[in-house]
């Protein structure tokens, strides 16, 4: 890791044209890590990277610092050859989406991730599967490199780890809390950070409430299944964390599965659990993820996917 960081820092010194991107339909960790790294590169190397995304950015991230830096991939020159492309939190190549031409034409590619990835796109990996979020890796990287940061970087890094740990519910060790403590000592206002995330549109709240109300329960209420129709999917804010969190707070529920009809024959699946793994179920559906938070996108109808998911949870 130390040698890879050293090589990465050398590449940054020489790069004049840099692009940074995360996974398609970015969540808080992916999106805020991209912006935080871009700002740190500008502060310390005098180059403002191009921040590219594909898919939809959740409404709750609309008020985060540097939101305007993010450019939809169709609005950038995908034919350019960047000196350096940095991939964050992408997990697997198919999650890059429309920005892939920038990766393919880059002179050098670096990835910084906390997901297990058996198909790396980068020549250099600065990865840590034990990190709770990419934002945590970037925080450590900044410390090692002695980088200057500012209040926008601190807020973005905080949002990264807050969103990827479920508001700290999935923290596995004390490093995240020490990181947040250091940021607070550096002037971070946690009340302001959480207020930035309270930014949902009315339609999303009403729709998500209805999805929770119509949820079904299986295996003595251990499994909650929520369904988001194609009509309602357009109003879903991000990955539907409100639905997942509400159902997961029910006393008897161990597992939550949310099925999203993205297209007539394409269904997204989000899985969560209290204490037991669900990543093996996501893998059985062709996806993956973390032990207690995983998902998949399946080219099949909502009805068929629902039946598969319920069957896979039998005996869990």
pLDDT tens digits, residue range 194-249? 999 888 888 888 999 999 999 999 999 999 999 999 988 888 877 788 899 899 99
pLDDT at 66: 98
206 and 191 co-located in one domain: no
In this predicted structure, the answer to whether residue 117 has a pLDDT above a threshold of 80 is: no
The number of folded domains in the chain is 2
Q: Which of 79, 77, 84, 75 is nearest to 49 (CA)?
A: 84
Least confident range of 47-51, 89-93, 114-118, 246-250: 114-118
Domain end residue (candidates: 196, 221, 236): 196
Query: Do 174 and 238 share a structural domain?
Result: no
Task: Supply the DSSP symbol for 75.
Answer: G
Whole-prediction pTM:
0.84
Nearest to 256 by CA among 228, 223, 229: 223
From 158, 181, 196, the end of a domain falls on 196
Tokens of 99: 């920005």
Which strand ranges, in their side-by-side order, compose the sheet holding 70-72? 70-72, 50-53, 18-21, 84-88, 109-112, 124-125
For residue 223, the number of C-alpha atoms closer than 13 Å in the C-beta half-sphere is 17
CA–CA dist 5, 9 (Å, integer): 6
pLDDT at 270 exceeding the cut of 80: yes
Q: Within 10 Å of residue 234's Cβ, how many Cβ atoms?
A: 13
Q: What percent of the chain has pLDDT over 90?
A: 77
Residues 11 and 44 in one domain: yes
Q: Is the pLDDT of residue 155 over 90?
A: yes
Q: Which domain does 218 fall in, by range?
A: 202-312
């Amino acid at each position: 890791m130390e040698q890879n960081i050293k090589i990465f820092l050398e590449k940054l010194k020489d790069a004049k044209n840099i692009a940074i991107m995360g996974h398609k339909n970015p969540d808080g960790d992916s999106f805020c890590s991209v912006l935080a790294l871009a700002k740190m590169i500008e502060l310390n190397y005098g180059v403002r990277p191009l921040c590219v995304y594909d898919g939809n950015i959740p409404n709750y991230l609309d008020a985060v610092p540097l939101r305007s830096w993010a450019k939809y991939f169709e609005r950038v020159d995908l034919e350019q050859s960047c000196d350096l492309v940095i991939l964050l939190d992408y997990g697997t190549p198919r999650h890059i989406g429309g920005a892939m031409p920038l990766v393919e034409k880059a002179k050098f590619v670096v990835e910084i991730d906390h997901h297990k990835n058996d198909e790396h796109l980068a020549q250099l990996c600065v990865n840590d599967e034990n990190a709770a979020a990419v934002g945590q890796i970037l925080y450590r990287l900044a410390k090692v490199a002695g980088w200057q940061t500012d209040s926008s970087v601190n807020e973005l890094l905080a949002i990264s780890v807050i969103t990827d740990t479920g508001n700290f519910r999935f923290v596995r060790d004390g490093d995240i809390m020490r990181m947040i403590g250091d940021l607070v000592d550096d002037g971070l206002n946690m009340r302001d950070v959480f207020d930035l995330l309270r930014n949902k549109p009315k339609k999303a709240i009403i729709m998500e409430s209805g999805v929770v109300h119509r949820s079904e329960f299986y295996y003595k209420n251990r499994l909650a299944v929520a369904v988001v129709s194609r009509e309602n999917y357009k109003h879903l804010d991000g990955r539907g964390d409100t639905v997942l969190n509400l159902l997961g707070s029910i006393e008897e529920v161990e597992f939550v599965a949310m099925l999203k009809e993205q297209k007539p024959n394409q269904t997204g699946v989000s899985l969560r659990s209290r204490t037991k793994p669900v990543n093996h179920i996501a893998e059985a559906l062709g996806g993956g993820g973390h032990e207690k938070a995983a998902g998949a996108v399946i080219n099949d109808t909502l009805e068929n996917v629902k039946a598969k998911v319920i069957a896979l949870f039998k005996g869990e």
